[in-house]
Structure 1
Amino acid sequence: MKEIGGYIELDTYILPRLHEEAVALNCGRNALAYLIEAKKIKKICLPFFLCDSVKKVCQKYGIHQRYYHITPEFKPIISSLDKDEWLYIVNFYGQVSNEYILELTKKYSHIILDQAQSYFTSPVEGIDTIYTCRKFFGVPDGAFLYTDSQIKREIPRDESFKRMNFILGRYERTASEFYEESYENNKFFENEPIKKMSKLTENLLHGLDYDRIKQTRTNNFRILKKRLNNINQISVSMIEGAYMYPLLIPDAALIKKRLLEHKVYIPTLWPNVLEEVNKDWLEWNYAKNILPIPCDQRYDFDDMNYIISLIEGGVKHE
């Protein structure tokens, strides 16, 4: 029986949402798990430069894993695949273009594209593609999957209301007060089964101004690229709706520490890589010395210039 009256809950939002036609799931890891189950994947080829969450999903499902290196431009170095092997490609910082992916489809028929760092890049037709929401918006979970296959069994729906505290808390207080909760929320999904996206997350995603968000991220990325290009040791392409700006510099830890002292938080995106690969590999250098500089919709021209001044001051000092 429908409840009528009483106190008013969160409003229902009806603005257009990106990826409306995709399968809406609870997290990116389970978007991969969905593909493994739906397509009966048994073998996969992964980049060495990769977070351990993807590897853990593959281990959980008993998938045979093989690894490949990447070029300085983040593209895969691989000569061949087995007939039943899937190629897992990560669009690092949005630097791997759809045109390049289309070229790969001429050679490989089984490709999974991870767009966790490129939410605003359109899917490539016929390519199984994963998008995650938490890296771009203030939601505790959520992922979208483009695929031509479906799981036959019934999938339960997730609920998010108990995991909203750290997001609401940071809105009214400081990030440091709620960091532990944010960290625990990330760990929570390690053992979560495949679920449909929660009603709460779906609703929040219908309340966003995607055009404004995309434009703000683009403008901020452009400023960082223009000002930091002269010290960046990798060539970075201009992209729309960027995730973060990847700045590769020697002794990045010293600059990261300087930024932290001024409450500019720079994540270490793939700490597992530092323990899993040789120190003379490109992947180790990238994991150690790429600083992902924030450029999201919370910030503006003045914020970007402030970050740049801290970086330039640290580089000169060192």
Structure 2
Amino acid sequence: MKEIGGFIEFERYSDNMLHKNGVKLNCGRNCLAYVFKVKKISKIYLPYFLCDSIEKICKKYNVKCNFYHIDEKFRPIINDIDVNEWVYVVNYYGQLPREYMNSLYEHHHNIIFDFTQSYYEMPIKNAVTLYSCRKFFGVSDGGIVYIDTSHFESLEYDQSFERMHYLMGRFECGASAFYSEFCNREKEFENEPIKFMSKLTQNILCSLDYDCIRKKREKNFEVLEKYLQKFNRLKLAKRDGPLMYPLWVHNGKNVRKQLIEQKVYIPILWPNVIEKYTRSYLEYDMAENILPIPCDQRYDEDDMLTICYLIDNFMKERTV
């Protein structure tokens, strides 16, 4: 029987969540694992410029990996792919043009599009497309996959209440005190089985004002582009609800260090690329020197101007 009475619980929301029509699973990497099982994939081409968690999933599900390079516009450099082989294409920072991705899919249908860095981009029609919720919103887990076939109707629902501690801790105490807990939670996903997205995470995602969040991200991105494009080796296009502002400079490693000293935390998204490959790889340069500047809904124009001021000073010092 349904419980009635007792203490008041977390509020329940019913507004539509973005990507409600996708298959809602417990994390982005398990969306890929789900695709492997549904499509019975045995071989895939991955970009060198990628986090090692994807390669680990491939090994876990006995999927053979080959690798390909990307160019300075993040476009895949792929030749002679067999019609039955699969290709993993990342929409880095949401910067791949829609027309280009459509043409890729028309040429080769066996593509998995990774939109974990472009949540506001709608899926490529009929193509497998993956999303990660926690890169964009204050949830501890959650991933979505668009796919033309599905099974696993007996999947159990994940539970998120024990993962929420570091998010609540950061809200009241700041990021530094809970960073190690965040890292530990991230590592736990390596061993998580495929489950449906938790009811708590779905509830939070139903409570969000997606349009307001998108506009804040876009406004912050515009401010950064206005003042930082003079330093940027990338020619960026405007995108809906961008993840971050990618600033590619020749001395990114040093600028990152100086920003962190000022409590502006700029990650190396894929340190494994630096550890695994040499400086002769374009991907090494990208991993080391592209600075993913935060531009999300937590911040406003003054925050962006502060970042621009710091970077401008750092770059001037380098030229003196």
TM-score (norm 1): 0.98
CA–CA distance in 2 between the matches of 1:104 and 1:48? 18
Report the CA distance between 1:38 and its aligned residue. Answer: 0.5
Structure 2 counterpart of 1:91, one-letter code: N
Question: Which residue matches 1:121?
Answer: 121
Question: Which residue matches 1:95?
Answer: 95
Kept in 1, the 8 Å contact 2:109–2:127? The answer is no
Structure 1 counterpart of 2:253, one-letter code: A
Task: List alignment gaps of at least 5 residues for structure 1.
Answer: none
Kept in 2, the 8 Å contact 1:232–1:249? The answer is yes
My pick for the range that moved more, 255-264 or 136-145, is 255-264
Report the CA distance between 1:39 and its aligned residue. Answer: 0.6
Kept in 1, the 8 Å contact 2:158–2:197? The answer is yes
Question: Which residue matches 2:253?
Answer: 253
Q: CA deviation digits over 1:6-65, x for unaligned, max 9?
A: 000001011221001000000010000000000100110000000011110001011111
- CA-based RMSD of the aligned residues comes to 0.9
My pick for the range that moved more, 100-109 or 64-73, is 100-109
Question: Which residue matches 1:7?
Answer: 7
Question: Which residue matches 1:191?
Answer: 191
**Count of residues paired in the alignment:** 318
Structure 1 counterpart of 2:183, one-letter code: Y
Report the CA distance between 1:99 and its aligned residue. Answer: 1.3
Kept in 2, the 8 Å contact 1:220–1:304? The answer is yes
Question: Which residue matches 2:243?
Answer: 243
- Give runs of ≥4 in structure 1 deviating > 2 Å: none
- Correspondence 1:96-111 to 2 at 5 A: 96-111=96-111
- Correspondence 1:144-293 to 2 at 5 A: 144-152=144-152, 154-293=154-293
Question: Which residue matches 1:137?
Answer: 137
Structure 1 counterpart of 2:296, one-letter code: D
Report the CA distance between 1:153 and its aligned residue. Answer: 5.3
Report the CA distance between 1:83 and its aligned residue. Answer: 2.7
Report the CA distance between 1:152 and its aligned residue. Answer: 4.1
Question: Once the two structures are aligned, what percentage of the paired residues are identical?
Answer: 49
SS in 1 for 2:44: strand
Report the CA distance between 1:278 and its aligned residue. Answer: 2.3
CA–CA distance in 2 between the matches of 1:240 and 1:95? 10
Report the CA distance between 1:233 and its aligned residue. Answer: 1.2
Question: Which residue matches 2:296?
Answer: 296
SS in 1 for 2:271: coil
Kept in 2, the 8 Å contact 1:42–1:84? The answer is no
Kept in 1, the 8 Å contact 2:13–2:203? The answer is yes
Structure 2 counterpart of 1:267, one-letter code: P
TM-score (norm 2): 0.98
CA–CA distance in 2 between the matches of 1:167 and 1:139? 8
